[in-house]
Amino acid sequence: MKADLKITDCHVATMVEGGVPYGAIEDAAILIRDGAIVWVGPRADLPAHEAAETHALDGRWVTPGLIDCHTHLVFGGDRSGEFEQRLEGATYEEIARAGGGIVSSVRATREASEDDLYASALSRLEGLTATGVTTVEIKSGYGLDRDSERKMLRVARRIGREAGVRVRTSYLGLHAVPPEFRGSDEARAAYVDLAIDDILPAAHVEGLVDAVDAYCEPIAFSGEEVSRLFDRAKALGLPVKLHADQLSDGGGAALAARHHALSADHIEHATEAGIEAMGQAGVVAVLLPGAYLMLRETTPPPIALLRKHGVAMAVATDCNPGTSPVASMTAAITLACVQFRLTPEEALAGATRHAARALGLSDQIGTLAPGKRADLAVWDITRPAELAYWLGKPLLSRRYRDGLRLTT
């Protein structure tokens, strides 16, 4: 067997489902060729091989590269002032209805150049890559007009080309109603038409869209409006995902299931009927503990129901300027355990195997197995549970994407 790279003197958490916890292999080795894993297993069982290069890891642990499957990484400005307002008693809904929230980020994003948006996104991406991320989903949704939404998505594509991470983009045109379309039902309907019939097709033709997302809440968009968007996405051959049931029970989980969405994200207020529908449809639940923490919510996602109905649980940062200024994937893992009572193994699976499913990439990444891309995170830990145990301690030794070692 020929290999470009042999990784040895390590322990591997393959995160392959079933068998031993974490899919762990003690004293392991990995063979990589053409950016993909061709063999992984106990070092004692290494097949006869020729490797062009060998990296000995001095007993470190290797996991799949972490996957942040829900971010709003590209935006202008920040909303630290609103953070202060919330601490003084204002609610997220009050701030949004007063013209703050998402709309304030829209103003700053529209005014920013592509280079400015790229530079600011890289500053946040550094926190993610320093905590083991090799794949990141990036949404639009702070432009809310034809040019600005496409601008955001072009920046996301540039990050994927230049910044050492695999990027999946999501069009989030139904994120908020922009200021120029507020004031009447007719104006709002005109924006929904624009987002569905103009902006989405234009971004799709430009090759900027991997999936379509929407925000389904009373302060955002209705189930009927979202269904129209999802029908258009299906006609374009694009998968869908949904911000669902974060602030109230709006039937978002069931809506995501009806449209066979890749994921329903947040879902703190989802009902058992909605959760059961997700399980039957294979929809991944994306848990976002950063937003839960920063909004000081008190109703956690229904974890027991998700387990009962066999719903895969992914974990992500929801990195955004307003409700989750979180730029650490290991912090999200820790918070998922502490706030939602996931086990460390469940949380790590949520940042690897299940996150890959939430992006439609489970055939490529998320576990360490032959045929998968060689996206790896190498950790200075003695057992995988430390990734959930430590909050703020630097644990990453190095990353690999497609078998190439990256700077952290």
Per-residue pLDDT of 55-109, as tens digits, reads: 999 999 999 999 999 999 999 999 888 888 888 998 877 887 787 787 889 999 9
Whether the predicted pLDDT of 374 surpasses 80: yes
| b/e burial code for range 215-249 (CB count within 10 A of at least 16 → b) | bbbeebbbbebbebbbebbeeeebbbbbbbbbbee
User: 175 among the known binding-site residues?
Assistant: yes
What average pLDDT is seen over the chain?
96
pLDDT in tens, 105-132: 999 999 999 999 999 999 999 999 999 9
Residue identified by tokens 């955002």 is: 220
- The whole-number average pLDDT for the span 243-259 is 97
Q: How many angstroms separate the CA atoms of 89 and 320, rounded?
A: 21
Q: Which of 85-89, 200-204, 273-277, 352-356 has the lowest mean pLDDT?
A: 85-89
**With bands split at pLDDT 50, 70 and 90, how would you rate the model's confidence at 348?**
very high
pTM given for the model = 0.97
User: 318 among the known binding-site residues?
Assistant: yes
Q: What pLDDT shows up at residue 86?
A: 81
The dihedral built from the CA positions of residue 335, 337, 342 and 345, taken in this order, carries a sign that is: positive
Nearest to 295 by CA among 318, 332, 324: 324
- pLDDT over 70 percentage in the chain: 100
Q: How many angstroms separate the CA atoms of 104 and 121, rounded?
A: 17
User: 322 among the known binding-site residues?
Assistant: yes
User: 246 among the known binding-site residues?
Assistant: yes
Q: Which of 59-73, 79-93, 180-194, 211-225 has the lowest mean pLDDT?
A: 79-93
- The whole-number average pLDDT for the span 141-152 is 98
Question: Which tokens go with 99?
Answer: 């013209």
Q: What pLDDT shows up at residue 83?
A: 86
Residue identified by tokens 């400015």 is: 116
User: 320 among the known binding-site residues?
Assistant: yes
Whether the predicted pLDDT of 408 surpasses 80: no
The dihedrals phi and psi of 13, each to the nearest 5 degrees, come to: -100, 95
Q: How many angstroms separate the CA atoms of 302 and 297, rounded?
A: 13
User: 70 among the known binding-site residues?
Assistant: yes
User: 243 among the known binding-site residues?
Assistant: yes
User: 9 among the known binding-site residues?
Assistant: no
User: 260 among the known binding-site residues?
Assistant: no
β-pair partners for 296: none
User: 296 among the known binding-site residues?
Assistant: no
Q: What pLDDT shows up at residue 96?
A: 76
Q: How many angstroms separate the CA atoms of 35 and 31, rounded?
A: 10
Q: How many angstroms separate the CA atoms of 46 and 44, rounded?
A: 6
Distances (CA, A) of 7 to 38, 155, 338, 378: 12, 34, 33, 11
Q: What pLDDT shows up at residue 34?
A: 98
CB atoms near residue 163 (< 10 Å): 16
